[in-house]
A and B are shown apart, each in its own frame.
Chain A
């Protein structure tokens, strides 16, 4: 899950990066409005966290420009301006959620999850359920209906499974998977993905992920072949 963080305060951005990474997001970080404008359109992000008081270009202008250009990535506004009139303005400019500072980190993560779920037509809930597989996003664990004991996943495994589960009916090319799993500065090694997918198969059964040779991977929840 690729996340673009647009925040000019370095200490906060550091903390948020750590927090998001910990919850399985691949984070790219911009401090300047102009950089963010370019970045958001050039990389396949799944969600954007936007601060309003930015150098270079005000956050609201940025958001309006994205929406005008047809960019429909969910945007969560994170701002010190907490009044309702500002909130209404922000949401009318095209934001999907608005969280005033200071916030509780848990709430931020919950809201992000809800945003991503809503984008994929799912109801926000603490767990993601597709076919017979349940993914606990907070505990970063998963289980199948046949063996209802939660299995802990590593961050990368969790990220891969979540992405595949959010697109259950699609074949995801390896490149696209890589695009959504690693930030732009991360070294992308396709073999590493294969290693993680093998681990997932070992933990949750072979059929959990189906390899479509030459095309990519597909979530295969229902094909129970332990």
Chain B
């Protein structure tokens, strides 16, 4: 679950709880205040009733009444919502006409209380005791509380609605704030992605103070890792190069006349030395490939680099004509040494086998670089091509070189996610075709190491 979503949910539930409590609390408060106010009204009503003159003072008359014309009209309309009963000395009972057949009971207590009333009304009832002359009056007044309850319900709904909207607004605002706050983290993520592709070895994004120590520590560790990597890479390279001299010594010693008496032993030792050489070259190449992104200065520039390479090859294979059919190309986004290695090996191989002619053609396609080397030599039969590509096998021991060339080409091409094929050339010999996909600028680079 993302941090934003977690914070969203947290804030949403918290604000909803607060809103609910607020709504409920304010309704309860309103209710309380309104009842207080209405209790005062009921008390006033009762006092004014107590002050009214009786129709006749015969206190023992069961049917004593108040003069209706002196009462508030609402007391005379049936179920109007205003009611009273007056009990005098527990013997005379006077009821408002509005009560009709509903029996209202007196209540006790200082504050008014809710009682069920007629026709689904809820009545707020209050009872007061008065002394008038030598009579004991107990006056109970009541009014319909339903309109208030209805308004309170309505109020509650409103507060809930507003609260909900507010909560959503809060979440929205918080989301914006979080996004703004997390923007450095997003940049950090992109930088890390670049680093994953080996384009960068340190994080440079400016981050808030809270994250800065993490980034610093990360950079520190990355620096260490790079150091260790470099050291081991250099170590492999030095070891590889250092091993070649003793290998040369042994090769030369093997050529001594003394060994001519033991051809079997000589051949076996020779094979072991070749094997060691192959392993050394492979690891050297791997160490070289692991250096990562080519700096702009180390990029392959066909107009300069091809000339030197072809010159070299013409010198090595003086009886072969090398032709470059490529159109002028800009600097290419691959390491100069690596492309020279690929082309050098392909051209050298072609030069060894060609009868008279080797043609090179580089074509830049929108998504890839296409390199083809043709020769007019004997070529390689279809069924043997697989084997040649597989392990850099030496096809012919007579031709100089150690049969490592094509293996190295394959290693480099695979490293860049490209393809290497052998085909029949239009010149009659072998066509070696290498296709390298353009390294993606920011997307997923095809890096299959090893």
A residues in contact (CB < 8 Å) with B? 9, 11-12, 15-16, 18-19, 53, 80-85, 87-88, 91-92, 96-98, 100-107
Chain B 238-251 interface mask (CB, 8 Å, partner A; 1/0): 00111011111111
A107 near B308: Cβ-Cβ < 8 Å = no
A88 near B340: Cβ-Cβ < 8 Å = yes
Mark the stretch among B88-96, B102-110, B120-128, B309-317 that contacts chain A.
Answer: B309-317
A80 near B244: Cβ-Cβ < 8 Å = yes
B245 near A83: Cβ-Cβ < 8 Å = no
Contact of A102 among B251, B305, B348 (CB under 8 A): B251
Residues of A near B246 (CB, < 8 A) are: 11-12
Residues of B near A84 (CB, < 8 A) are: 309, 312, 337, 340-341, 343-345, 348
Residues of A near B308 (CB, < 8 A) are: 88, 92
- Alpha-carbon distance between A100 and B341 when the two chains are bound, in angstroms: 14
Q: Is B277 an interface residue (CB 8 A)?
A: yes
- Alpha-carbon distance between A91 and B253 when the two chains are bound, in angstroms: 28
Contact of A101 among B247, B311, B315, B336 (CB under 8 A): B247
Residues of A near B277 (CB, < 8 A) are: 102
- Alpha-carbon distance between A92 and B309 when the two chains are bound, in angstroms: 10
Interface residues of B in 174-190 (CB under 8 A from A): none
Q: Is B332 an interface residue (CB 8 A)?
A: no
The 4 closest A-B pairs by CB, nearest first: A84-B344, A102-B247, A15-B252, A80-B244
Interface residues of B in 96-135 (CB under 8 A from A): none
Residues of B near A81 (CB, < 8 A) are: 241
- Alpha-carbon distance between A9 and B247 when the two chains are bound, in angstroms: 12
Residues of B near A11 (CB, < 8 A) are: 246, 249
* 12 pairs of residues in contact across A and B, judged by CB atoms under 8 Å: A80-B245, A82-B281, A83-B288, A83-B337, A84-B340, A84-B344, A87-B312, A88-B311, A88-B340, A97-B315, A102-B273, A105-B251
Count of chain A to chain B residue pairs whose CB atoms are closer than 8 Å in the complex: 84
CB distance from B342 to the nearest CB of A (A): 9
Query: Contacts A83-B337, A85-B336; is A101 near B245 (CB within 8 Å)?
Result: yes
A-B contact sample (10 more), CB < 8 A, given A83-B337, A83-B340: A12-B246, A80-B241, A82-B281, A83-B341, A88-B309, A88-B312, A91-B311, A91-B312, A98-B312, A105-B252
Residues of B near A12 (CB, < 8 A) are: 245-246, 248-249, 252
- Alpha-carbon distance between A106 and B250 when the two chains are bound, in angstroms: 13
- Alpha-carbon distance between A15 and B254 when the two chains are bound, in angstroms: 10
- Alpha-carbon distance between A116 and B14 when the two chains are bound, in angstroms: 93
CB distance from A3 to the nearest CB of B (A): 15
**How many positions in chain B have a CB within 8 Å of any CB in the partner chain?**
35
Residues of A near B250 (CB, < 8 A) are: 102
Residues of B near A104 (CB, < 8 A) are: 251, 255, 400
B residues in contact (CB < 8 Å) with A? 240-242, 244-253, 255-256, 273, 277, 281, 288, 305, 308-309, 311-312, 315-316, 336-337, 340-341, 343-345, 348, 400
Return the chain B residue nearest A13 by Cβ.
B249
Return the chain A residue nearest B276 by Cβ.
A102
Query: Contacts A16-B252, A88-B308, A92-B308; is A101 near B344 (CB within 8 Å)?
Result: no
- Alpha-carbon distance between A83 and B288 when the two chains are bound, in angstroms: 10
CB distance from A33 to the nearest CB of B (A): 17
- Alpha-carbon distance between A157 and B253 when the two chains are bound, in angstroms: 25
- Alpha-carbon distance between A98 and B250 when the two chains are bound, in angstroms: 20
CB distance from A5 to the nearest CB of B (A): 12
Contact of A103 among B248, B256, B281 (CB under 8 A): B248
Residues of B near A97 (CB, < 8 A) are: 315-316
CB distance from B187 to the nearest CB of A (A): 37
Residues of A near B311 (CB, < 8 A) are: 88, 91-92
B312 near A9: Cβ-Cβ < 8 Å = no
CB distance from A114 to the nearest CB of B (A): 9
Residues of B near A98 (CB, < 8 A) are: 312
B252 near A19: Cβ-Cβ < 8 Å = yes
CB distance from A6 to the nearest CB of B (A): 14
A102 near B248: Cβ-Cβ < 8 Å = yes
B341 near A102: Cβ-Cβ < 8 Å = no
- Alpha-carbon distance between A82 and B281 when the two chains are bound, in angstroms: 9
Query: Contacts A87-B312, A88-B308; is A19 near B245 (CB within 8 Å)?
Result: no
Return the chain A residue nearest B238 by Cβ.
A80
CB distance from A24 to the nearest CB of B (A): 15
Return the chain A residue nearest B342 by Cβ.
A84
A19 near B400: Cβ-Cβ < 8 Å = no
